[in-house]
Chain A
Amino acid sequence: MIKKILSGSWIGIVLLFMYSPILILAVYSFMDTPVIGGTGSFSLQNYITLFTSEELMDMIIGTLTLALQCAVISTILGTLGAIGAFYSKKGMRGFVSTSNQIPVVNADVVTGFSICVLMIVVFGVNKDSFIPLITGHVVLATPFVYLSVMPKLKQMDHNLYEAALDLGASARQALMKITIPQIMPGIVSGFLLAVTLSLDDYFVTTYTKPATFNTISTYVVNATKGSNTELKTALWALSTLIFVIILLVVLVSNISASRKEGGEENVKNEI
């Protein structure tokens, strides 16, 4: 009994710690004061600015597009790489998995810095072409896709593939219809992870982005020297919205999934 109270309260404390800042952002997003901690009155101005400001909308859509594009590229690259590496000889597999670890454990700053130096100083690629930016994000995310898919590959039943080949399927068909569906949870979680990483990234983006492009993190950090704080406060509205949307998605998907499958839930967010 005591154990339950203790464990419940510990989780409660941690949840409080994690969510009080987000709740504060949510509260202030409904007020008209430009600084957190100031006094103000209830107003939906921030939400209005969020949806009508062209600059903000461009920035948000840009961030989302970047995240989705890079996630798609990373997922394809990482999945193919994982499958290929799994079936390769020891040498190749060792090389791929070791090089794969490097961006994972390396600091974002170093990754961003090195991509910048390589592409811009050595190769002279123009930053405006978005190529360094996309490359940087893909380098950041693909290893995590690889790491999500690999365990699933290891847990897969190999015999099914051989059986499919014996039954007359071509190698490609067998791959598409047998292997991929089995590792699909890994691919999906890898994709989600790639999106999260790209959205949250600051360092790689700063070093590789073109001048006119801003993501949410660079915008917040390289913040304004001037008087217009409307956009900053609109970002609070944005974060509140993101939070609510994700929470809803998580709740809805979990309720519907557990209703269908009942019993033990397969956790998607495995690493």
Chain B
Amino acid sequence: MVKMISLGPNDIDAIFLSGKVAAVAVAGSLPVGFAVAYLMTYLKFRGKLLMEVLITLPLTLPPVVIGYFLLLLLGKKGWLGPLLESAGIRLIFTWKAAVIASAVVGFPLLVRSIRIGMESIDPQLIQASRTLGAPWYDTLFTIILPLSIRGILAGSSLMFARSLGEFGATIIVAGNIPGVTQTIPLAIYEYASSPTSETMALSLCIVSVSMALGILFLHEVLGKKLSQRR
């Protein structure tokens, strides 16, 4: 088994890059995801249905479509292109684009999980909190946030795992740049396109699977710990 794994410096780069992109994507999406989940769970407003559909959309679209739309939006000739350029911000073909691709693709997963967590909170607890003098933001931080930790955790691990595997959107909007945007899936793709890199591809695949297993395992363990505390 150990003999099967041969990783070059390029591959180590890819592994670290994958981890970094996934971590930043999750960390950056958490506050937004939490806020969106809160809005969807507790507020009624016009256009709520539309928002629900829009948020779930990335789950059903092929990632390459998402990547292409991101390109149309953020590219040099894209809708936001001139604006970004005047602010000196370069996104396409940078690791930031990889983060954006992962974030967009994984966002629905995050929001869903947090929503499920929030919806399982007894609404009477929230009513109780109000009658005891807590305005909505106070209730949000002292009651809703602590009680939706499980959902937040589940969503984060799911999104992290999804980011590690993100390919379609990433390759279009961040490109395949070793050391900069070449995450594990992109590296495997490159190896797999060439007849002479079978073992390399396989090694990275094994690493990829191990990482995914690791996250899922961690998620289960944390989940159990949390429910024991209660």
A and B, one complex? no
> Taking beta carbons and an 8 Å cutoff, which residues of A are in contact with B?
none
